[in-house]
């Protein structure tokens, strides 16, 4: 390479200007870099892989490992002069108290119910979009549906608050229609929290469903009709099974996301709806020595939700979401 570079330089002085790449490639630094790379395919691959692998280990795996580590300590962050000891207490304390297990189970059940509700609500929407709208218009309508989601969870939660509050729009409508005399307390209940979370997560269900439905050739349903199947049968025995993977991705996504919300339950929910996210967060806003317990609870929650999601995917799909070719 350096030979070519020399010739390039010689030619340049004769020719006047040199091309940009010519100057870059002619520089000595690049030549050395190139020589270092050219040693072997293995070396080249190692250089390519170094940054991503290091990043993934340090930034993706590291926090989880550290959280696991802290969950076994008796005090973290350690005060001056204190040497933390290892203990299982943080983990066992979860199983001992009703005040911890109840929100945990409640959150799981709630999240599962909401996931199912979101599925039922968005499936018809996805179906309509994929099969009853002309191709050209599908993109536009999808865009329309995307717009509210760019705003962010806090603003959207706030919007729900305005909708459902005692002086909110729904109550206003109801009292105008003469249906009620006093405002119905929608807020700070499971209902308001449910509406809020479905509102926030419906896109994550809609997109995989739409994607699966859009790829479904209409010939399958037509063949079923040809063989005598009615509309509901066609749906139940042809369309639904063939969109299994989309349903699986959507449900898993929504489940994992909805268990992770903190702000929305705080704003829309009340004492009776305390979700586990609030319980866990509570350990981090008090004095530092509650961190290990919080870490343990987080680990428990992480393992449970990932296990549930994994089981669900195994049951529904063919294993793997086909993202990786």
Partner 1 sequence: MNTLPGRAPMEHAVVRLEHVSKRFGDTLAVDDLDLSVPSGQFVSFLGPSGCGKSTTLRLLGGFERADRGRIVLDGEDVTDIPPNRRDVNMVFQDYALFPHLTVARNIAFGLELKGEGRAAIERRTAELLAFLELGEFGERKPDELSGGQRQRVALARALARDPKLLLLDEPLGALDARLRAQVQLELKDIHRRTGKTFVFVTHDQEEALTMSDRIVVMNEGRIEQDGTPEELYLRPASRFVASFVGETNFVEGTVRGTDGGVTTIDWHGIDVRGVARGFTPLENEPVTGALRPESVVLHAEKPPGGAFPGRIASRLFKGSRTTVSLEAGPAGGGGRLLAYLEPELAERIEEDRVWIDWRAERLSILP
Partner 2 sequence: MTRWTRVTMSVIFWAFVVYLFVPLVLMILMGFKDSKFIGFPIRSWTLEWYVDVFRDTEVLGVFLYSAAIALASTAISLVIGTWCAVLIGPRRFVGRAALFALVCLPAVIPGIISAIALRIYARLLEIEPGMLAIVLGHAVHNVPFVALVVLARLATLPASHVEAARDLGADEIVAFFRVTVPYLRPALIGASVFCMLLSFDDFIRSFFLGGYQPTLPVLIFAKLRSGMSPEINAISTVVLVLTAVLGLWAERSSRRLARTKPSGAA
- Measured between alpha carbons, how far is 163 from 155 in angstroms, rounded to an integer? 12
The distance between the two most distant Cα atoms of the chain, rounded to a whole number of Å, is 94
Q: How many residues bind partner 2 (CB under 8 A)?
A: 90
Does position 1 interact with partner 1 (CB under 8 A)? The reply is: yes
DSSP 140-157: HHHHHHHGGGGG-HHHHH
Does position 222 interact with partner 1 (CB under 8 A)? The reply is: no
Residues 65-124 that bind partner 2 (CB under 8 A): 66-67, 70, 76-77, 121-122, 124
Does position 8 interact with partner 2 (CB under 8 A)? The reply is: no
Residue 4 or residue 180: which is nearer to partner 1 going by CB? 4
Does position 174 interact with partner 1 (CB under 8 A)? The reply is: no
- Measured between alpha carbons, how far is 5 from 22 in angstroms, rounded to an integer? 8
Does position 154 interact with partner 2 (CB under 8 A)? The reply is: yes
Do residues 146 and 189 make contact, with C-beta atoms less than 8 angstroms apart?
no
Residue 6 or residue 89: which is nearer to partner 1 going by CB? 6
Residue 145 or residue 247: which is nearer to partner 2 going by CB? 145
Of 16, 81, 241, 320, the one binding partner 1 (CB under 8 A) is 16
Does position 19 interact with partner 1 (CB under 8 A)? The reply is: yes
- Measured between alpha carbons, how far is 107 from 189 in angstroms, rounded to an integer? 14
Least distance to partner 2, CB of residue 13, Å = 21
Residue 190 or residue 257: which is nearer to partner 2 going by CB? 257
- Measured between alpha carbons, how far is 119 from 211 in angstroms, rounded to an integer? 14
CA distances from 42 to 35, 38, 140, 276 (A): 14, 10, 47, 47
Does position 319 interact with partner 2 (CB under 8 A)? The reply is: no
- Kindly indicate which of the ranges 37-45, 84-92, 97-105, 208-216 contains the residues binding partner 2, using the contact rule CB under 8 A: 37-45
List helix spans (H) across 80-189: 89-96, 98-131, 135-146, 153-164, 169-176
Q: Name the residue with tokens 């989601």.
A: 149
User: Which of partner 2, partner 1, none is residue 16 near (CB under 5 to 8 Å by kind)?
Assistant: partner 1
Does position 44 interact with partner 2 (CB under 8 A)? The reply is: yes
Q: Which two tokens stand for residue 235?
A: 């749906």
Per-residue binder mask for partner 2 (CB under 8 A), 263-292, x = binder: x--xx---------x--xx--x------x-
Does position 242 interact with partner 2 (CB under 8 A)? The reply is: no
* Coil/strand/helix, residue 39: coil
- Kindly indicate which of the ranges 18-26, 58-66, 264-272, 286-294 contains the residues binding partner 1, using the contact rule CB under 8 A: 18-26
Per-residue binder mask for partner 1 (CB under 8 A), 23-42, x = binder: --xx-----------x----
Does position 224 interact with partner 2 (CB under 8 A)? The reply is: no
Q: How many residues bind partner 1 (CB under 8 A)?
A: 20
Q: Name the residue with tokens 């209940």.
A: 189
Which of 193, 186, 202, 194 is CA-nearest to residue 148?
Answer: 202
Task: Look up residue 72 and give its DSSP letter.
Answer: T
Does position 182 interact with partner 1 (CB under 8 A)? The reply is: no
CA distances from 279 to 61, 244, 276, 284, 301 (A): 24, 34, 5, 10, 11
Does position 43 interact with partner 1 (CB under 8 A)? The reply is: no
Q: Which residues bind partner 1 (CB under 8 A)?
A: 1, 4-5, 7-9, 11-12, 14-22, 25-26, 38
């Amino acid at each position: 390479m350096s030979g070519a570079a020399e010739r390039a330089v010689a030619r340049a002085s004769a020719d006047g200007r040199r091309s940009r790449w010519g100057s870059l490639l002619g520089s000595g630094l690049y030549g050395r870099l190139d020589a270092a790379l050219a040693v072997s395919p293995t070396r080249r691959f190692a250089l390519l892989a170094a940054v991503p692998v290091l990043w993934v280990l340090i930034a993706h795996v590291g926090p989880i490992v550290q959280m696991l580590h802290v969950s076994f300590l008796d005090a973290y962050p350690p005060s001056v002069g204190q040497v933390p000891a290892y203990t299982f207490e943080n983990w066992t304390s979860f199983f001992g108290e009703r005040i911890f297990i109840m929100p945990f189970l409640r959150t799981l059940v709630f999240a599962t119910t909401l996931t199912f509700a979101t599925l039922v609500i968005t499936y018809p929407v996805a179906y309509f979009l994929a099969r009853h709208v002309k191709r050209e218009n599908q993109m536009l309508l999808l865009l329309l549906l995307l717009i509210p989601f760019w705003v962010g969870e806090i603003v959207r939660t706030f919007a729900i608050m305005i909708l459902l509050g005692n002086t909110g729009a729904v109550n206003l409508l109801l009292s105008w229609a003469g249906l009620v005399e006093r405002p119905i307390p929608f807020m700070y209940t499971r209902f308001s929290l449910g509406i809020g979370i479905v509102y926030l997560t419906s896109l994550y269900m809609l997109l995989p469903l739409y994607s699966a439905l859009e790829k479904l050739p209409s010939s399958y349903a037509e063949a079923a009709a040809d063989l005598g199947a009615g509309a509901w049968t066609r749906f139940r025995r042809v369309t639904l099974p063939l969109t299994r993977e989309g349903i699986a991705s959507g449900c898993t996504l929504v489940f994992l996301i909805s268990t992770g919300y903190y702000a929305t339950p705080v704003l829309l929910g009340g004492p009776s709806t305390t979700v586990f996210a609030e319980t866990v967060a509570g350990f981090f806003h008090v004095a530092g020595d509650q961190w290990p317990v919080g870490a343990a609870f987080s680990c428990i929650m992480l393992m449970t939700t990932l296990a549930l999601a994994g089981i669900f995917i195994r049951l529904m799909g063919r294993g793997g979401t086909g993202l990786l070719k």
